[in-house]
Structure 1
Amino acid sequence: MPEQPDRKLWFGFAPGVGVGDVPGILSGVEHADRAGLDFFTVSDHPYYGSRLEAYAALGLLLGRTRDITGLVTVTNLPTRPVPLLARTLTTLSALSGGRVVLGLGAGGYWDDIVRLGIPRLDPAAAVRALDEAIGLVRALAGGGGPVTFEGEFSQVTAVDPAPVPAPLVWTGSVGPKSLAVTGRLADGWIPGNAADWHSARFRESRPLVDEAAASVGRDPATIATVFNLPARITDAPVTNPRDPSGRWTGGSVAQWIEELTSAVLDHGASGFVYFASGDPSGAVGLARWAEEIVPAVREAVAKG
């Protein structure tokens, strides 16, 4: 993919969502905000009692920060009525000054989802629901006249849109049909299973996003690719910074800088999420990420 030097780069932080990890989550997100990171993410698995509910956590964390954007990666769509999800997003946006992105998925843990009393959707229906949800969330934002919508999965009658701009939408699409939805409608894509820029998943999936975007007259380069990185930041260089499958597992600060700069300039990456839960160095790892790696990658990319 050719370099797009004018596109925004996103550098994020995932603090975890364990109920027992609350002090570290709060301090980590506050540190990320002070250090100038672009966003933080929380996962959405409401069927697990040991984890924080995603949107309650998102609201509190946005309230404790000043500049950083928050998103749920990715919102478990089957568990949330779309009109209410739209209201949640516009409310958080209004309260935070627009610091919200909608991360959205079709739902991937159906054996757990149905334990909440939610009817199971087959894969094709789940993708149709994703497509429909993106349009309805956007319709219920930005002001304007009342919205009436008779969809397959959601129906609203004469509902006033919130006078708040619709958020950016990043999907966690995996299959060909959901990747096509991303290409037609979304602003960004987060490859699943922590796939990175050298993975077969990325190489095989991103062209499907691009083809779908082009089919509706969109510039594929405007759709961000944001990679999850559950990897270590080590004290010294490592001999093998990738596992046997080829996935990035981390290394020294210098190795991270070189690798992420190449990911942007040579492979079209638009953003990265550093996972605290994937690095035993904890707060030290976050400091290295936010204060050493990210500024250096930004500088290197600016120089080309």
Structure 2
Amino acid sequence: MTALFGVGISTAVSTARETLRHAAQADRDGLDLFTVSDHPYFADRLDAYSLVGMALGGTTRIAGLVSVTNLPSRPAPMLARTITSLSALSRGRIVLGAGAGGLWEDIARLGVPKLGPGAAVRAFEEAVTLIRALCGGGDRVTFDGEFYQVTDLEPAPVPAPPVWTGSVGPKSLAATGRVADGWIPGHAADWLSPRYRTSRPIIDRAAHDAGRDPGDIATIYNLPGVITPHPLAETRNREGRWIGGSAEQWTEELTGAVLDHGASGFVYFPDDDTPTDLALGRWANEIVPAVREATTPASDPRP
């Protein structure tokens, strides 16, 4: 599998026009996807799916991802219709990001019934299962679950998109292993972090127990950091967290992540002190092409 490269873009209402411009820039520069966060309880944030729809309409090849969808505030049957509609309109340029919900005090302010951790994970897994059932045509769906009940619904004639999760706890990680196609480690944890080393085996065991190949579940990393004009003496801090460096240092680090640690993709988040246009340009035009060249097999060239 060739690694994917993306960029996280702002959802601030105050920078809406610039955000659309950055999505278009990422598309022109050949990135694979853009991601946006989903926090509908904050008035200064754009609605994630409205933003994705507008951005996909202004681009031609890049995919969009809500990382991750706040499932408690977006009922699964309606989210299935949203996702399949966006897929049809964009010719498949959508990935479904799914999460059990993190900020429950804020989520509850929307009028959504508050769930405990165990129930939230069960609802998350049930939602992904139902969304898949409502994609790809086929028999009509009647579903009588703990959290969702639908009757005699016709699936959309659109294939289910890949499903990536932001699972953190053991139960949620196990659900990822059972029903998802990709995992984004929480708290910007990377391939050298204790979080990755302790979490990924839970996903793999659950996948195996469900009769799935753990290797089919990609790991895609959210990666903040600074891109500097000159090399840094240290590219990681005392805790081992990646802080950035020159384009060459980024290239070396990400190449190793793909070849030595099986990383499937990276979503770059520009640091606050660098203009986004500049950081995005360096990421897309200097680092990404170099990592692609170093990691793409000669027998499997990119189109």
Normalized against structure 1, the TM-score is what?
0.96
| Aligned equivalents of 1:102, 1:163: Cα separation in 2 | 17
Alignment of 1:206-225 (within 5 A): 206-225=200-219
Report whether the alignment pairs 1:267 with 2:261. Answer: yes
CA apart distance, 1:279 = 5.4
What is the 5 A alignment of 1:124-163? 124-163=118-157
1:234-249 maps to which residues of 2 (within 5 A)?
234-249=228-243
Q: 2: distance between equivalents of 1:181 and 1:279?
A: 37
CA, structure 1 residues 80+152, in 2 after alignment: closer, same or farther (shift >3 Å)?
same
Q: Secondary structure at the match of 2:35?
A: strand
Q: Secondary structure at the match of 2:296?
A: helix
Aligned to 1:13, the other structure's residue is in SS state strand
- Output the CA distance in 2 between the equivalents of 1:156 and 1:20: 39
Determine which structure has greater relative contact order: mean sequence separation of CA pairs < 8 Å that are 6+ residues apart, divided by chain length: 1
Aligned 8 A contact 2:226 2:271 in 1: no
Instruction: For structure 1, list consecutive stretches of 5 or more residues without a partner in the other structure.
Output: 1-6
The residue aligned with 1:294 is 288
Tell me which amino acid in the other structure corresponds to 2:264: S
Specify the alignment match of 2:88 in structure 1.
94
Q: Percent identity?
A: 62
Provide the secondary structure at the position in 1 that maps to 2:129: helix
Matched, 1:276 2:252: no
Q: Give the one of 8, 20, 23 matched to 1:26.
A: 20
Q: Partners in 1 of 2:183 and 2:286 — Cα distance?
A: 26
Q: Distance in 1 between matches of 2:244 and 2:15?
A: 23
Deviation at 1:30, TM superposition (A): 0.4
- Per the alignment, residue 301 of structure 2 pairs with none
Residue-by-residue CA offset, 1:155-191 (whole Å, 9 max, x unaligned): 1000110000011000000001110111111000000
2:49 is the alignment partner of 1:55: yes
Q: From 109, 115, 119, give the equivalent of 2:113.
A: 119
CA contact (8 A) 1:231 1:278 kept: no
What is the aligned length?
Answer: 298
- Asked whether 1:232 is paired with 2:226, we answer yes
The match for 1:3 is none
The aligned residue for residue 4 of structure 1 is none
Deviating beyond 6 angstroms after TM superposition, the runs of 4 or more aligned structure 1 residues are: none
> In 1, distance between residues paired with 2:199 and 2:218?
13
Do the aligned partners of 1:213 and 1:220 also contact (CA within 8 Å) in 2? yes
Q: Distance in 2 between matches of 1:151 and 1:206?
A: 28
C-alpha distance in 2, partners of 1:150/1:277?
A: 46
| Structure 2 counterpart of 1:169 | 163
